[in-house]
Structure 1
Amino acid sequence: MRTRKQKIILASKITIATLLIMVVALFVFRNALLQQAIAKVSNKMEQDYNSNFSIKKASFIGLSGLSFSDIILVPKNADTLFHIHKLKTSVNLWRLLVGDVQLGTLEIENGYVQLVKNKQGRNFDAFLKKGDTTHSNEKRNYAKLGYRIISRLLNLVPTDMKVENLSFRVDDNGKKTTIIFQKLRLANKQLETSATIINKAYTQRIRIEGFADPRNKKADIRLFNIDTGAVKVTYLDERYNLKSSFDSIRLNIQNIDKSGGELHIDGFASIANLMINHPKIASKDVVIKNAKFDYRFLLGSDFISIDSNSTVQFNKIKFHPYLAYETEEDTIYKLKVAIPKMKAQDFIVSLPDGLFTHFQGMEAQGNFEYKLDFMFNKNKPNKLIFDSKLKKENLKITKYGEANLNKLNGEFVYRAIIQNVQQRPVLVGSSNPNYTPLDQISPYLQKCVLTSEDPSFFSHRGFINEAFKQSILKNIRTKKFSRGASTISMQLIKNVFLTREKTASRKLEEILLVYILENNRIASKERMLEVYFNIIEWGPNVYGIGEAAQFYFQKTPADLTLQECLFLATIIPKPKKFMWQFDNEGNLKSYAKQQQKFLGNLMLRRGILVPDDTTGQSIPLQLTGNAHSLLNIKVKDTVPVDSLAVEEPFEF
Structure 2
Amino acid sequence: MQKRKIKKILVTTLSVLVLLIVLGFAGFFIFRNTVLEKAISKASHKFEQQYNSEFKVEQAQFKGFSGIELKDITLVPQNGDTLLNIKTLNTSVNVSQALFGNIQLGKLYMQDGYVNLVRNKNGKNFDAFIHAAKDKKKEKTESNKNSYAERAHRLIKTALNLIPTDISLQNLSLRLNDMERKVTINLEELHLSDKQLTSSFLVKEDEKQQNWKVKGMADPRHEAADLDFYNNDSTHIEIPYLKKRLNLTTAFKKLHLNLQEVDMKGDELHVKGYASINDLLINHPKIAKKDVVLDSARFEYNFIAGEHFITLDSTSVAQFNKVTFTPFAKFSTEQDTIYQLKAHIPEMQAQDFITSLPKGLFSHFEGMQAEGSFNYSLDFAYNKNKPNDLVFESTLNKKGLKITKYGAADLNKLNGTFTYRAIENGIRQRPIIVGEENPNFTPLEQISPYVQKAVLTSEDPSFFQHNGFIAEAFRQSIIKNIKTKKFARGASTISMQLVKNVFLTREKTLSRKLEEILLVYILENNRIVSKSRMLEVYFNVIEWGPDVYGIGEAAQYYFQKPPVALSLDESLFLASIVPRPKKFMWQFDKFGNMKPHAHQHNDFIMDLMLRRELITAQDTIGQDGKAELSGTARTRLNITQTDTIPQKQRDSLEIDRTIYDLYNKAY
What's the TM-score bracket when you normalise by the shorter of the two chains?
Answer: over 0.9
Deviations 1:400-438 (A, max 9, x none): 000010011111001111111111111111221211111
Deviations 1:261-308 (A, max 9, x none): 111110011111010100000000000011111111111111112111
Q: Distance in 2 between matches of 1:139 and 1:286?
A: 44
Partner of residue 256, structure 2: 250
Kindly provide the amino acid, as one letter, of the partner of residue 115 in structure 1. Answer: L
Q: Secondary structure, in 3 states, of the residue corresponding to 2:139?
A: coil
2:651 matches 1:649: no
Partner of residue 58, structure 1: 60
In the comparison of the two structures, how many residue pairs are matched? 651
Q: Secondary structure, in 3 states, of the residue corresponding to 1:133?
A: helix
1:45 corresponds to which of 32, 47, 56 = 47
Partner of residue 566, structure 1: 572
Q: Distance in 2 between matches of 1:46 and 1:180?
A: 29
2:262 matches 1:239: no
2:386 matches 1:360: no
Cα offset, 1:5, TM superposition: 3.7
Q: Distance in 2 between matches of 1:621 and 1:121?
A: 56
C-alpha contact 1:577 1:645 (8 A) present in aligned 2 = no
Structure 2 CA distance for partners of 1:71 and 1:640, relative to 1, 3 Å:
farther
C-alpha contact 1:308 1:322 (8 A) present in aligned 2 = yes
Q: Distance in 2 between matches of 1:350 and 1:586?
A: 55
| Structure 1 stretch displaced more, 174-183 or 613-622 | 613-622
Q: Distance in 1 between matches of 2:556 and 2:507?
A: 30
Partner of residue 504, structure 1: 510
2:105 matches 1:103: yes
Kindly provide the amino acid, as one letter, of the partner of residue 37 in structure 2. Answer: Q
TM-score, normalised with respect to structure 1: 0.97
Partner of residue 576, structure 1: 582
2:298 corresponds to which of 292, 295, 301 = 292
Kindly provide the amino acid, as one letter, of the partner of residue 161 in structure 1. Answer: I
Partner of residue 346, structure 2: 340
Partner of residue 165, structure 1: 171
Partner of residue 469, structure 2: 463
Partner of residue 89, structure 2: 87
| Structure 1 stretch displaced more, 566-575 or 545-554 | 545-554
Kindly provide the amino acid, as one letter, of the partner of residue 288 in structure 1. Answer: L
2:536 matches 1:534: no
Q: Distance in 1 between matches of 2:140 and 2:290?
A: 51
C-alpha contact 2:598 2:653 (8 A) present in aligned 1 = no
Partner of residue 623, structure 1: 629
Partner of residue 25, structure 2: 23
Alignment of 1:596-615 (within 5 A): 596-615=602-621
2:373 matches 1:376: no
Q: Secondary structure, in 3 states, of the residue corresponding to 2:520?
A: helix
Q: Secondary structure, in 3 states, of the residue corresponding to 1:234?
A: coil
Partner of residue 483, structure 2: 477
Structure 2 CA distance for partners of 1:359 and 1:24, relative to 1, 3 Å:
same
C-alpha contact 2:602 2:625 (8 A) present in aligned 1 = no
2:439 corresponds to which of 433, 449, 465 = 433
TM-score, normalised with respect to structure 2: 0.95
Deviations 1:492-531 (A, max 9, x none): 0000000000000000000000000011011011111111
Q: Secondary structure, in 3 states, of the residue corresponding to 2:113?
A: strand
- Percent identity over the alignment is 54
Q: Distance in 1 between matches of 2:407 and 2:652?
A: 43
Q: Distance in 2 between matches of 1:476 and 1:220?
A: 39
Structure 2, unmatched stretches of 5+, are: 661-667
Deviations 1:581-638 (A, max 9, x none): 112221111111111001111222222222222111138532222222222222369x
Deviations 1:347-390 (A, max 9, x none): 00000010000000000011101001111111111111110000
C-alpha contact 2:281 2:294 (8 A) present in aligned 1 = yes
Cα offset, 1:227, TM superposition: 1.7
Higher helix share: 2
2:289 matches 1:283: yes
Structure 2 CA distance for partners of 1:107 and 1:405, relative to 1, 3 Å:
same
Structure 1, unmatched stretches of 5+, are: none
Structure 2 CA distance for partners of 1:605 and 1:486, relative to 1, 3 Å:
same
Structure 2 CA distance for partners of 1:620 and 1:126, relative to 1, 3 Å:
closer
Partner of residue 36, structure 2: 34
Alignment of 1:578-597 (within 5 A): 578-597=584-603
Q: Distance in 2 between matches of 1:502 and 1:329?
A: 38
C-alpha contact 1:591 1:647 (8 A) present in aligned 2 = no
Kindly provide the amino acid, as one letter, of the partner of residue 83 in structure 2. Answer: L
Alignment of 1:140-289 (within 5 A): 140-289=146-295
Partner of residue 523, structure 2: 517
Q: Distance in 2 between matches of 1:439 and 1:275?
A: 49
Structure 2 CA distance for partners of 1:146 and 1:647, relative to 1, 3 Å:
closer
Q: Distance in 1 between matches of 2:30 and 2:585?
A: 90
Structure 2 CA distance for partners of 1:401 and 1:104, relative to 1, 3 Å:
same
Q: Distance in 1 between matches of 2:202 and 2:652?
A: 56
Cα offset, 1:176, TM superposition: 1.0
Deviations 1:78-106 (A, max 9, x none): 11111110000000001111111100000
Cα offset, 1:141, TM superposition: 1.6
Cα offset, 1:259, TM superposition: 1.1
Kindly provide the amino acid, as one letter, of the partner of residue 121 in structure 1. Answer: G
Q: Distance in 2 between matches of 1:247 and 1:647?
A: 45
Deviations 1:33-85 (A, max 9, x none): 11111111111111121111111111111110111101111111111111110
Q: Secondary structure, in 3 states, of the residue corresponding to 1:330?
A: coil
Cα offset, 1:642, TM superposition: 9.4
Partner of residue 407, structure 2: 401
Cα RMSD of the aligned pairs, angstroms, is 1.7
C-alpha contact 1:406 1:523 (8 A) present in aligned 2 = yes
C-alpha contact 1:428 1:535 (8 A) present in aligned 2 = yes
